[in-house]
Amino acid sequence: MIQKILIANRGEIALRIVRACRELGIKTLAVYSEADVQSLHVQLADEAICIGGPKSGDSYLRADRIISAAEIADVDAIHPGYGFLSENAKFAEQCESCNIKFIGPKSNSIKIMGDKAVAKHTVRKAGVPIVPGSDGPVDNESEAVKIARRIGYPVIIKAVAGGGGRGMRIAHNDVSFAKEYHVARAEAEKAFANPAVYLEKYIEKPRHIEFQILADSHGQILHLGERDCSVQRRHQKLIEESPSPFLTADLRKRMGKAAIRAAQAAEYENAGTVEFIVDAKHNFYFIEMNTRIQVEHPVTEEVTGIDLIKQQIRIANGEKLDFDQGDINFDGRHAIECRINAEDPARNFAPSPGIIGLYYAPGGHGVRVDSHVYSGYTIPPYYDSMIGKLICFGSSRKTALERVYRSRHQDHDSPPQGHHERSHLHRRTRHHGLYGRLSQPDAARPFFLIRGRRTRIILGFSLPIRDLPGGTIPVSCFAVMQTPDFSTSAFDDQPALGQIQINHNVIASIVRLAALQVKGVAGAGGGLVDGLSDLFAKRESNHRGVKVSEDGPDTYGIELRLVVSYGSDIGKTACDVQVAVRKQVIAMTGKNVSRVDVIIEGVRLPSDAANESRSDDLWPESPSAD
């Protein structure tokens, strides 16, 4: 009988497991890294043990420390969540040998489905269709080229031990194949310590459809319908929904039966997901089986009404499923999940860790938010950038979409006063799904502070923003709220265009001239000195504080750091600088400007204020501290 569970994970899934255990009357033990001491699951679990440093390799991937914590705390079972050790057969085997229940499949099932080549061979024998490809790993280039020609281009090269889009490359002919084959092997070696790859026919414009499986230890295996995960970026899922608008009732029935056959072939037990790709003609092919709970499991929960985490625990406890296939109804409900990532859209969606100054989750009928963050929480830089999931559901797809729309943005207001167009940054965030619109710029106020080791003050600002998810202001939303490190060295000259040499240095000089004309700008950023008295002229030669990059042909992206005058309106100054820089660069060079990201790095105090005691909120540290 399971009475106490160790949660070998972090973030929103760890919190999700804590809540399910509490409803079942089961005690919980949270294991955490030094970076996660603030996390909600640590605060809400019955017990918590720190198992190491902030990096995954020093904590969440240390099976020995997790097993030791389990034995010290006398737990009955370990729930691995997703990621980390959740699909590690050796870890599952260690749990079994220590008489600790692993809440997931048996280690042998993980081994079978964890090796994609073995998994394909296993399900093919069970009559599950697979994508045409190699019979197993291909270890040399000449053999791989022959197989690629036989399959027919385009082909996709995949890591045998892969996942998350790593070790995956597409080749369209022999020439590109030679390069991509070796790149895929190198990526696989780095990510999984296993360079083996296999080949498959690349299905262009496919739908990514997965089926949720539940299997108890008494031989009953059911499917809980599909999830459509076709909206992806760099092979990473972003939006999932159920049921799929692409599937017919007949196709759903056939794919569900195939998913059950795949699970039976692996002698599967507990929750798992069988993934397929479906082409335009409704032909479907097995991709892989994920032997764990999925990130997107709430979509299935809201459609079927079945709590998958509780079912996992009950199955691990030896209980039978208390429903059969006929009890599961896929009609009359629709759910959509949007992943919320701490990323900076202005920097190609790079991870954006930092402090969340204000967090207010959306709510209302048909809206669910799974997240471990809160106001004041620090997003650590050591883990995946996903910080939450927005799940909206209703009686139809239209209703679910309306609730997504309602949760992510509401009524629009007018653009900033005095501007005929919204800021480029706003347009970028809106284009990429992080909705936000600046209202009256004179309403800006300081939002959060990050204090450097010297006298530097990095300021963000909040403005009336209506269109962000639930009225939140995530650190990833506006560039002025970022503190990215970038090189401040001079930029290399670019080839001359015509008789006028337009290079990064020329663009940077124009940017400086334009920015300095704006009221409220006191100087350049890029590294302030003690006393904040460094003059702009001292940085004229090395272009510190300005970064120019080519975002496309004759198109430049600009980042500039500024110091504003004491008492100036930060929000209005940032907006004015964006407009002035864009106009000046276009007018003087004829080039396009794709973005102007303004980072307010500091406040220049008047000489009398600089000598006074800094006891207000802007100066929580002594300016001489180092």
The C-alpha R_g of the chain, in whole angstroms, comes to 27
75 contact partners, CB below 8 Å, separation of at least 6: 4, 5, 6, 29, 100
Closest CA to 441 of 586, 595, 602, 577: 577
Q: Tokens 């208390």 label which residue? A: 322
Beta bridge partners of 272: 213
Q: Which of 292, 456, 544, 595 is catalytic?
A: 292
Closest CA to 207 of 251, 176, 249, 169: 251
Give the distance from CA 17 to its chain's centroid: 20
The tokens for 96 are 């079994």
Cα torsion 240, 243, 246, 252 to 10°: value is 120
333 contact partners, CB below 8 Å, separation of at least 6: 302, 303, 304, 393, 394, 395
The tokens for 573 are 């100054």
Q: Phi/psi of residue 592, each to 5°?
A: -85, 150
Tell me the one-letter amino acid at 6: L
The tokens for 503 are 């290079």
Instruction: Give the Cβ contact number of residue 373 at 10 Å.
Output: 24
The tokens for 202 are 């690349």
Q: Which stretches within 320-470 are classed as H helix?
A: 397-408, 424-431
Buried b (16+ CB within 10 A) or exposed e, 236-275: ebbbbbbbbeebeeebbeebbebbbbbbebbebbbbbbbb
8 Å CB contact between 356 and 373: yes
Tell me the one-letter amino acid at 48: A
Please say if 292 is a catalytic residue: yes
**Residue 244: DSSP 8-state:** -
Q: What is the set of active-site residues?
A: 292
